[in-house]
Amino acid sequence: MTTILGLSGSLRRASLNSGLLRAAADAAPEGVTITIGDIAQVPLYDGDLEAASGIPPAVTTLTDQLAAANGLLLVSPEYNNGVPGVLKNVIDWMSRGQGMAVFKGKPVAVIGASPGNFGTAHAQSHWLPVLRMLATRPWWEGRLMVSRAGDLFDDQGNLTDDKTRERLAEFVAGFAGSIGGGRS
């Protein structure tokens, strides 16, 4: 059994990227589970908060989920040609304390959906220095950028396009196949 932790970098209720993550979980092949992590309760990183209260429970939950997973799937929106602050904040919190160890060598894939013409090409590239710093193992064999996503999802953020669903299923199968069943 291969387990992948999936994190969507959007807090919006009808988020295209959260919908893409849900569709990825549905498209996972037999023997692969994508656990969808909840980032909504993660506060903005504050060293004073960390010193006074330690790591917030929502961060501990995500870090434990990542430690138990064989891989990490970041579903990243693109804001102003870069990574979304909310998802970067979550990764920053997760890397505190012993968190760096859970990232080391962890297979990671990045996908995303955007209403624009270029998908999330810039955001995906901007994740690379972060993933390098965390000593992860990015999956280079696949890339999935969903462009003009407003036409491919319904009003609740659910993927409705069969061609995109097929591409997503191929991507998830490829990433899961590169991970294998063992823990990284």
Residue 99: what pLDDT?
A: 78
Q: Is 99 helix (H, G, I), strand (E, B) or coil?
A: helix
Alpha-carbon gap, residue 22 to 158, rounded angstroms: 8
Low-confidence ranges of the chain (pLDDT < 50): 182-184
> In the CATH hierarchy, which fold is given to the domain comprising 2-179?
Rossmann fold (3.40.50)
pTM for this model (two decimals) = 0.95
Q: What angle do CA 48, 12, 134 make, to 5 degrees?
A: 50
CA 65, 92, 150, 168 torsion-angle sign: negative
Domain ranges of the chain: 2-179
Can you give the pLDDT at residue 142?
Answer: 84
pLDDT of res. 68: 97
- How far is it, in rounded angstroms, from Cα 144 to Cα 165? 11
The phi and psi torsions of 4 (rounded to 5 degrees) equal: -120, 130
User: What is the reported pLDDT for 78?
Assistant: 94
Measure the N-to-C terminal CA separation of the chain; round to a whole number of Å: 13
The pLDDT score that the predictor gives to residue 182 is: 47
Q: Which pLDDT does position 181 carry in this prediction?
A: 55
